[in-house]
Amino acid sequence: MITIKSAADIEKMDVAGRIVEETLNLMSTLVRPGVTTEELDREAERFIRSRGAVPSFLNYSGYPKSICTSVNEQVVHGIPGSYKLKDGDIISVDVGAYINGFHGDAARTFLIGNVPDEVKELVKVTKECFFEGIKFAKVGYRIGDIGHAIQSYAESHGYGVVRELIGHGIGREMHEEPDVPNYGRPGRGVRLEKGMCIAVEPMINLGTEKVWQLSDGWTIVTQDDKPSAHYENTLVITDGEPRLLTLHEEG
């Protein structure tokens, strides 16, 4: 079932979304060579709880940490641990927060020190994929229009679009209908309606689109070990431009 959010629901989701955004902003100040991914997790959890929210991911289907930290060839769902960030790494940080009955969910990919130009470009284009996609996150379009825009833009740069993991509806549950793939066909899929809330989250690989899951049961990595980037925001479909709930500052 696709839930349509009321104005009151959306204000609650905005609160959750702002906490997610602020957590990611905090992460951007902490990521540097020598920092471990579990230190990022600890600081994120502390911040989310300090704002009266709960980390959405903690204990979700048994997930053991509060955020996901996916380094280099890790696509998503990397589990924070003793790994120390080093110069030249990229790290995708995915954050969810739950407060007043609603979730917010967003991800950013950060550069650590001197990252090769072709990897910097991947990170930049992945963010651009999100903005290409949400040109169609409007009444009058369908889910397939968003996915098609993301896929076309990524593939025009020669990148691989991950198929196994997709965006999603969001609200009282972190994962609601509809599915929001990063690929698709124009004019296909669910019609977008005012009050739908979705998380659009391109996961884009420098090389092959193919991925594996590690034996930890969570971490998704590229099959060719080339880097992957992730960029996600939670948004509301409105009468006009989509309202981003996890991105209020900066465009």
Q: Which is closer to ligand MF3, CB of 56 or CB of 72?
A: 56
SS3 at position 162: coil
In the chain, the DSSP E strands lie at: 54-55, 67-71, 74-76, 90-99, 102-111, 160-161, 167-169, 176-180, 197-200, 203-205, 211-213, 220-222, 228-230, 233-236, 243-244
Partner in contact with 57, chosen from Co ion, ligand MF3, none, beta carbon below 5 to 8 Å by kind: ligand MF3
- State the minimum distance, in angstroms, from the CB of residue 149 to ligand MF3: 19
199 touches Co ion by CB under 5 A: yes
The dihedrals phi and psi of 180, each to the nearest 5 degrees, come to -130, 80
Token pair of 11 as six digits: 């204000």
Single-letter residue type at 28? S
- State the minimum distance, in angstroms, from the CB of residue 88 to ligand MF3: 25
Partner in contact with 77, chosen from Co ion, ligand MF3, none, beta carbon below 5 to 8 Å by kind: ligand MF3
- State the minimum distance, in angstroms, from the CB of residue 69 to ligand MF3: 11
- State the minimum distance, in angstroms, from the CB of residue 116 to ligand MF3: 26
Residue 219 neighbours by CB distance under 10 Å? 20
- State the minimum distance, in angstroms, from the CB of residue 212 to Co ion: 20
The DSSP line for 15-31 is: HHHHHHHHHHHHHHHH-
The neighbouring-strand residues paired with 222 are 211
105 touches Co ion by CB under 5 A: yes
Partner in contact with 82, chosen from ligand MF3, Co ion, none, beta carbon below 5 to 8 Å by kind: none
Stretch that binds Co ion, among 72-80, 85-93, 98-106, 206-214 (CB under 5 A): 98-106
Which residues of this chain interact with ligand MF3, rule CB under 6 A? 57, 60-61, 63, 68, 77, 94, 96, 105, 168, 199
- State the minimum distance, in angstroms, from the CB of residue 209 to ligand MF3: 18
The dihedrals phi and psi of 98, each to the nearest 5 degrees, come to -125, 125
* Helical ranges in 138-215 per DSSP H: 143-156
Q: Which is closer to ligand MF3, CB of 12 or CB of 168?
A: 168
Q: Which is closer to ligand MF3, CB of 63 or CB of 131?
A: 63
In 119-180, the DSSP E strands lie at: 160-161, 167-169, 176-180
Q: Which is closer to ligand MF3, CB of 61 or CB of 215?
A: 61
SS3 at position 120: helix
d(Cα 172, Cα 176) in Å, to the nearest integer?
8
Q: Which is closer to ligand MF3, CB of 87 or CB of 216?
A: 216
Q: Which is closer to ligand MF3, CB of 26 or CB of 139?
A: 26
Q: Which is closer to ligand MF3, CB of 120 or CB of 127?
A: 127
The residues that touch Co ion, with contacts defined as CB under 5 A, are 105, 199
